[in-house]
């Protein structure tokens, strides 16, 4: 055998990782090149995988997480060792918390040196650090195990409750060679990575019995329901049962927010008054006041039905009278089947009382939205966004901030499933540009990012990424000169108050620096024109929307989570 033939008969770690990903239909990697994965990114691109390169790993990780939620395939984030890995870890932990499937693949330094702590370049025991922050973590030491490693990562990310997975690939692995034919056979095509999990028939019957006896039933849809892609059946369940429903923020659009059974405009009333609540892919965490207390009208003997794929979620905060464990598609189909053709709709005293509050609150909201104060406030600016989204229902809305988040969530109606991405279960800041890039890349749709000025700052440098890939992302920065608002003063003089930014900053010029469109908007009319143009052109656009710096409240709607000083206020 000549050297040549010998080389042709060999494969290496680089090729095996790429082939294993491609074998499992993974066509996009979000990452940031550097030692030891630079060549890997080049080779992956040369092999037809789309490689989207970021300016900071956290945003690449967030893009991968958004891709996971939007496609139902694990989003892949690729980073360098120690610091790059750590930068990606926040996104991995956030994805896990949100139940989004994602795989963080990081290069790592030499095991022998790391384990003896002899001080390698970017030395860190990454596997140990990642483990408690994700659903599963694996390391591959031998080229022959790459197929198994990738298969385990994919299956762990997608099966059961989805989540983040860490895959550690030491530098040496990439150049390891093995027989090409044996390498090919070592790869695994993952069959049925998210198998259906049928609910037990008696659990379905128990839920139906409870629902049947309810006087004031309520359905609560969470982002698990959006992720499950059981859109038709969920809509059928809501409509056939006639039960009013509330969407959690990322479940908005599962049914159009304008649906007559939406109880969102009467949220506090229905949470307090309902007697039976059916949770579909929603957890009773802080976002739902843990299912207890005043919000839920306690004590009033409310009973819960919970549909979830994770059995250990049940009873995590309050007693669940009727758990239904399985994938949402199968559970909802079983409930629909069990309802029969003569299902009695809820009493009109209940639905009528909700309708009345709904109309009243909607009228109040329209009156507020119609005001045109100068300078703009959150409402007058969001009124524009609301119209634009109504006219572009396929657009994906990314939303973060404090007041910008709270107001946008309730004002901007969504019309289709999986069109809204936001701060999620943690209430994290910094997802904005990562989610925007991820969403634009995997869907090809227009993205509208509604960003508080502080929130935007966490990922603002990625506007370069947006321009580089020429993505149809329209960012609106709600600029009120600071965190919560821009009016805090340091009474001692000297430094400005910790919540205050440079006054009258021109975020629009950041976009211009990279060849995108930047617009400075001081009125709703200017904002509207700029958003319409952005969507028409599909050009990367950043609109600096000047908002009254006195508008906004501390921590938006979660002021109560701020610890109070023990000393009495004067």
Q: Report d(CA 422, CA 431) in Å as an integer.
A: 7
Using the minimum distance from each CB to Mg ion, give the nearer residue, 307 or 500: 500
Q: Report d(CA 206, CA 554) in Å as an integer.
A: 44
Using the minimum distance from each CB to ligand ADP, give the nearer residue, 161 or 416: 161
Name the residues that contact ligand ADP, by CB under 6 A.
Answer: 98-99, 161-162, 222-224, 227-228, 248, 250-251, 281-283, 285, 287, 308-310, 313, 327-328, 425
51 has which bridge partners? 29
Return phi, psi of residue 163, to 5°.
-175, -170
Chosen from Mg ion, ligand ADP, none, partner binding at 453 (C-beta under 5 to 8 Å by type): Mg ion
Q: Figure out which of the listed residues 327, 422, 453, 464 binds Mg ion, where binding follows CB under 5 A.
A: 453
Chosen from Mg ion, ligand ADP, none, partner binding at 425 (C-beta under 5 to 8 Å by type): ligand ADP
Tell me the C-alpha to C-alpha distance, in Å, between residue 507 and each of 214, 231, 249, 541: 52, 38, 27, 11
Nearest approach in angstroms of CB 287 to ligand ADP is 6
Using the minimum distance from each CB to Mg ion, give the nearer residue, 75 or 452: 452
Nearest approach in angstroms of CB 285 to ligand ADP is 6
Nearest approach in angstroms of CB 409 to ligand ADP is 12
Q: Token pair of 266, please?
A: 């009467």
Helices (H) and strands (E) counted in the chain, each on its own, are 23, 19
Nearest approach in angstroms of CB 503 to Mg ion is 12
Alpha carbon 505 to its chain centroid, in Å, reads 28
Q: Is 480 in the site for Mg ion (CB under 5 A)?
A: yes
Chosen from Mg ion, ligand ADP, none, partner binding at 13 (C-beta under 5 to 8 Å by type): none
Nearest approach in angstroms of CB 332 to ligand ADP is 9
Contact indicator for 507, 90 with CB cutoff of 8 Å: no
Chosen from Mg ion, ligand ADP, none, partner binding at 460 (C-beta under 5 to 8 Å by type): none
The residue behind tokens 């990738």 is: 150
Q: What is the Cβ-side half-sphere exposure of residue 287, based on CA atoms within 13 angstroms?
A: 20
Per-residue binding letters, 395-434, with Mg ion (x by CB under 5 A): ----------------------------------------
Q: Token pair of 406, please?
A: 């709270």
Nearest approach in angstroms of CB 422 to Mg ion is 16
Q: Is 452 in the site for Mg ion (CB under 5 A)?
A: yes
User: Could you tell me which of 317, 424, 426, 342 has the C-alpha nearest to residue 435?
Assistant: 424
Stretch that binds Mg ion, among 129-137, 273-281, 440-448, 452-460 (CB under 5 A): 452-460
247 has which bridge partners? 221
206 has which bridge partners? none
User: Could you tell me which of 476, 299, 288 has the C-alpha nearest to residue 383?
Assistant: 476
DSSP-derived secondary structure for 124-186: --HHHHHGGGSSEEEE--SGGGHHHHHHHHHHHHHSSS--EEEEEEEHHHHH-EEEHHHHHHH
Chosen from Mg ion, ligand ADP, none, partner binding at 224 (C-beta under 5 to 8 Å by type): ligand ADP
Using the minimum distance from each CB to ligand ADP, give the nearer residue, 121 or 286: 286
Nearest approach in angstroms of CB 228 to ligand ADP is 4
Using the minimum distance from each CB to ligand ADP, give the nearer residue, 33 or 338: 338
Nearest approach in angstroms of CB 103 to ligand ADP is 17
**Given the rule CB under 5 A, which residues bind Mg ion?**
452-453, 480
């Amino acid at each position: 055998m000549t050297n040549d033939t010998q080389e042709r008969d060999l494969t290496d770690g680089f090729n095996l990782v790429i082939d294993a990903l491609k074998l499992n239909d993974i066509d996009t990697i979000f990452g940031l090149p550097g030692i030891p994965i630079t060549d890997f990114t080049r080779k992956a691109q040369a092999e037809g995988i789309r490689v989207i390169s970021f300016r900071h790993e956290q945003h690449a990780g967030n893009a991968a997480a958004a891709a996971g939620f939007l496609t139902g395939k694990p989003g892949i984030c690729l980073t360098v060792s120690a610091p790059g890995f750590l930068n990606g870890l926040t996104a991995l932990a956030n994805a896990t918390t949100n139940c989004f499937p994602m795989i963080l693949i990081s290069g790592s330094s030499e095991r022998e040196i790391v384990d003896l702590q002899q001080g390698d370049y970017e030395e860190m025991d990454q596997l140990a650090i990642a483990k408690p922050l994700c659903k599963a973590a694996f390391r591959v030491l031998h080229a022959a195990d790459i197929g198994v490693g990738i298969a385990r990562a994919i299956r762990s990310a997608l099966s059961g409750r989805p989540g983040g997975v860490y895959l550690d690939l030491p530098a040496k692995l990439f150049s390891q060679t093995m027989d090409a034919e044996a390498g090919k056979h070592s790869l695994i095509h993952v069959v049925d990575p998210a198998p259906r999990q049928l609910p037990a028939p008696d659990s379905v019957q128990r839920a139906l019995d409870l629902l049947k006896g309810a006087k004031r039933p309520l359905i609560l849809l969470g982002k698990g329901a959006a992720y499950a892609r059981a859109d038709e059946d969920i809509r059928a369940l809501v409509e056939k049962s006639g039960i009013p429903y509330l969407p959690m923020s990322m479940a908005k659009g599962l049914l159009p927010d304008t649906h007559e059974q939406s109880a969102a405009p009467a949220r506090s009333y229905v949470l307090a008054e309902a007697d039976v609540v059916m949770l579909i892919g929603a957890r009773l965490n802080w976002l739902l006041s843990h299912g207890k207390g005043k919000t839920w009208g306690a004590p009033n003997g409310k009973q819960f039905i919970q549909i979830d794929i994770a059995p250990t979620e049940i009873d995590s905060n309050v007693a669940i009278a009727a758990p239904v464990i399985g994938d949402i598609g199968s559970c909802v189909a079983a409930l629909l089947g069990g309802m029969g053709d003569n299902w009695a709709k809820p009493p009109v005293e209940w639905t009528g009382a909700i309708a009345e509050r709904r109309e009243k609150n909607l009228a109040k909201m329209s009156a507020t939205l119609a005001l045109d104060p100068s300078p703009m406030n959150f409402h007058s600016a969001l009124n524009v966004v609301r119209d634009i989204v109504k006219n572009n229902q396929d657009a994906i809305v990314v939303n973060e901030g404090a007041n910008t988040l709270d107001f946008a969530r309730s004002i901007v109606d969504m019309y289709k499933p999986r069109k809204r991405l936001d701060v999620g279960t943690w209430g994290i800041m910094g997802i904005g540009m990562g989610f925007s890039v991820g969403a634009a890349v995997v869907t090809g749709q227009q993205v509208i990012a509604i960003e508080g000025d502080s929130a935007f700052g966490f990922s603002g440098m990625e506007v370069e990424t947006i321009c580089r890939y020429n993505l149809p992302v329209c960012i609106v920065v709600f600029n009120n000169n600071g965190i919560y608002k821009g009016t805090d003063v340091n009474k001692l003089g000297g430094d400005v108050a910790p919540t205050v930014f440079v006054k009258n900053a021109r975020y629009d010029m950041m976009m211009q620096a990279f060849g995108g469109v930047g617009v400075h908007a001081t009125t709703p009319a200017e904002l509207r024109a700029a958003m319409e143009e952005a969507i028409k052109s599909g050009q990367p656009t950043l609109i600096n929307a000047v908002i009254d710096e006195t508008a906004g409240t501390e921590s938006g709607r979660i002021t109560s989570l701020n610890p109070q000083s023990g000393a009495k206020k004067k």
